[in-house]
Structure 1
Amino acid sequence: MDKDKLYAKYKEQVLPGEKSLDQIIDFLKNKVDIEQINFNILPENIRSGSIYNVIHSLRNERIKEKTENLDFLVYKMIKNDRSSIYYSSYIHTSPNQDYDIIYLIIEKSTMCLQSNCNRLITELLIYQGVSEYDYTNKTLMLYSYFSILENPRPCLSL
C-alpha cells in the first residue's frame, strides 16, 4: 500500500507518543516471565549483528549514536506456560542448546528493540508506538509503523 493510503487509513487510529523503556519492560513482564542477562553472554554473531542493526536502524538516523556509546539491556524469556505461545512459534536455529532461548535486546538510547522471536518483536513494536516527532513530521518511522499495523508480519526491528 502506498504512503498516502497508509496515512489515511491509520492516522486517526494511532495516537502519537512512544512508550518508555520501563513501560516496555512492564508490558513484557505482564505477558511472560523474563530474566535480565548480560549482553556479553550472547553468542558473538548475535552481539555483532545487534550492534550493526542499531547503528543502521531508522531509530538511529536522528541520534547518530556511535558503536562505543551503545548500552544494551538483554532479557531472556523463561520457558514455561506463560511463554508457550512464543516458544511454539519460535524456530530454534542454533546447534548449541544453551542458546535455545528467546531473547529481547533493547538499546537504551535509541530504544531499538530486537528479538529472535518474530511474534514477540511484532507485538512489542506495535506496543512501543511512534513518537510525536515522527507522527507530526510524517517520517519514515511513522510509515514503517503503519506498515506493521497494516501487515503485522514478523519484523526484526526498526
Structure 2
Amino acid sequence: MEFSITYNLENHSDYVLKKNEHKITPGEKSVEELIDFLNGKVDIVETEITELTKSIFKHIIHNAIHGNQNQKNLTANELNFIVYKVLKNNRSNSYYQYYIPKVDHYEDATIYVVFEKRTRGIYTNNNKLFLELSIERGVSQYDYDNDTNVFKGYLFYLDSYSKGEY
C-alpha cells in the first residue's frame, strides 16, 4: 500500500511539472527582491518581532530550523528575522478576504509577513500571500536538476495557487 501512495505522489509531481514547466525558470530571489515584490503588491511597514505573539514566534523559529530552506542547518541563535505588517487598504483587500484572525490567535486582524534572511524562509499568516511569495522566491538550479523536496514543494505551491487553494 505504501508503494502505491508514493507512486501516486510521484505521478502527481510529474503531472504538475508538465503542466507548469513553462512557468519554471530555475533561480532564486533574495530576501530584498522578495520585499520589493511584496511592496509592489501591498502597502507594508516594517515592525518589531515583538508584535507577534510568543507562541507564533516560537512556531516560526521551529519552522525556520526544521524547514527545507534551512540547508545550512542554522540554529535559533543564528537566525535573522525581518517582520512586516500588511496595511489594510484597497491594495490588500484580496488578501484580507482570505484571512481568519481567530485561527492565528492574533487579537487584531493584521497580516504579518516574516522573512528569515539567511535561509530566505517565508512565514506569514496568509496562505495566498505565502504561495505568491514562495513562487516568486523560485527554486535553485540544483533543486530543479535533482528533483529535491524543495523543488517538489515549489511544484505544490504552483499547483495550489493555480487552483486557488488558499
User: AA paired with 1:139?
Assistant: T
Partner secondary structure for residue 55 of structure 2: helix
Alignment map for 1:128-147 (pairs within 5 Å): 128-147=137-156
The one-character-per-residue Cα deviations of 1:105-146 (angstroms, maximum 9, x if unpaired) are 111111110100111111111111111221122211011111
Q: 1:34 aligns with which of 44, 54, 64?
A: 44
Relative distance call for 1:8 and 1:36 in structure 2 (3 A) is same
Alignment map for 1:97-108 (pairs within 5 Å): 97=107, 99-108=108-117
- Whether 1:16 aligns to 2:26 is yes
- Whether 1:53 aligns to 2:84 is no
**Higher percent of residues as helix:** 2
How far apart, CA to CA, are the structure 1 residues paired with 2:26 and 2:122? 18
Equivalent residue number for residue 84 of structure 1:
93
Q: Which runs of 4+ in 1 moved over 4 A?
A: none
- Whether 1:111 aligns to 2:115 is no
The one-character-per-residue Cα deviations of 1:77-131 (angstroms, maximum 9, x if unpaired) are 011111111111111116663x421000111111110100111111111111111
Contact map agreement 2:53 2:106 (CA 8 A) in 1: no
With normalisation by structure 2, the TM-score equals 0.84
Partner secondary structure for residue 158 of structure 2: helix
- Whether 1:70 aligns to 2:84 is no
User: If you compute each CA radius of gyration, which structure gives the higher value, 1 or 2?
Assistant: 2
Contact map agreement 1:31 1:82 (CA 8 A) in 2: yes
Contact map agreement 1:6 1:143 (CA 8 A) in 2: no
How far apart, CA to CA, are the structure 1 residues paired with 2:105 and 2:15? 44
Shift of 1:6: 3.7
How far apart, CA to CA, are the structure 1 residues paired with 2:157 and 2:26? 15
Contact map agreement 1:51 1:67 (CA 8 A) in 2: yes
Shift of 1:69: 0.6
With normalisation by structure 1, the TM-score equals 0.88
Unpaired runs of 5+ residues, structure 1, are: none
Shift of 1:41: 2.4
Partner secondary structure for residue 130 of structure 2: helix
CA RMSD, Structure 1 to Structure 2 (Å):
1.7
Equivalent residue number for residue 44 of structure 1:
54
Contact map agreement 2:42 2:91 (CA 8 A) in 1: yes
Q: How many residues matched?
A: 152
